[in-house]
Amino acid sequence: MKVLYIGQYSSGTTSKMRADILRELLIPSKFEVIDTHVPFYNTSKIWRSIGFRYKIGRLISETNNYVLEELKKLNLFNFDLIWIDKGIFFKPSTLKFLKKQTIKLVHFTPDMAFYQNKSKRFEKSMPFYDFLVTTKTSELKFYRKKVDNEKIILTTQGFSKAIHKPFHKFEDKNDAVVFIGLAEPHRLSIAARILDSKINLKLVGKGWGKFVEKYKGNENLTYLGETIYDDEYSKLISSSMFGLGLLSKRFPELHTTRTFEIPACRTALLTERNQETQSFFQETEAIFYENTDELIKKVKYYQEDTNELELITRRGYDRVNLEGYDYYSLLKNIIVKINKEN
């Protein structure tokens, strides 16, 4: 079996995690990778910004040219499977060419494809794919407008068993709430309430500069920079009693990678109560809240009742592992569905 993976292949990316697991799952005679981060980092910051924001410009042309040149240079043709990860930059002409080089062409994205990452090129290219995998129930209606329902595979976000795991015993955890992610208005508001309630807060992510400056000197705030990867990411979550699984409000997101990564690190998940999060966890396996007042109230309650908090932490950890929310299990199910259609 010959497999070609096209996507970001930098350390710390979930796309690299998926590529490595696909290699392990499929055990192909040949597994090739075309890393789309190569043309990305070879393009100036201004063109990267324009490319991400408007899906036009040098980043788009460089990415398409790079993939086609790599195919020709490495003589990469006639695959059993070509897997494209987050293919919002690819032109229909590129997809048409790739389609001729494989028995099955699959697209996977853990992101919203019709909101922030909306791309006319992707929409025009959708018919070339044999399967399109999404984690977003709110976007199924958009996929169904473009392709037959049989081509759509719905999965969930997930976690890596190799990376997202416990590094601390419960008794060694800090009495703190940790959040790793981009600053958004509602997240700023929640973070402020946590600090005003004299609860320890550890933050990592972009866009927190003004907030950190405002709370400079606050003994309850620890800001650890814009990025954190791999084991250090999991160690930070694992070191804390509570992990915030905040969802974005820029689009209708109902769960995120943090939804599974936090309990996988054997830390109690603090999450909004909605139809998806409640389908993943019972009330005894995660800490649900409707609003910020309830979030603060529950954190304070479980700070006092650490025995119950430890039980929730263990149950959440067991749930994500037993239900197969790890990337290996999720991708295995996807491969089974793909192989059923001959």
Burial (CB count within 10 angstroms: exposed 0-12, middle 13-18, buried 19+), residue 53:
exposed
Domains, in order of start, for the chain: 2-158+326-340 (3.40.50.2000), 170-322 (3.40.50.2000)
Give pLDDT tens digits along the chain (342 positions). 999 999 999 988 889 999 999 999 999 899 999 999 999 999 999 999 999 888 999 999 999 999 999 998 878 789 999 999 999 999 999 999 999 999 999 999 999 999 878 899 999 999 999 999 999 999 999 999 999 999 999 999 999 999 999 999 999 999 999 999 999 999 999 999 999 999 999 999 999 999 999 999 999 999 999 999 889 999 999 999 999 999 999 999 999 999 999 999 999 999 999 999 999 999 999 999 999 999 999 999 999 999 999 999 999 999 999 999 999 999 999 999 998 865
Q: What is the pTM of this model?
A: 0.93
Residue 321: count other Cβ atoms within 10 Å of its Cβ. 17
Q: Are strands 79-85 and 102-109 parallel, antiparallel or unpaired?
A: parallel
What is the rounded distance in angstroms from the CA atom of residue 121 to the CA atom of residue 93? 10
The number of beta carbons lying within 10 Å of the beta carbon of residue 24 is 12
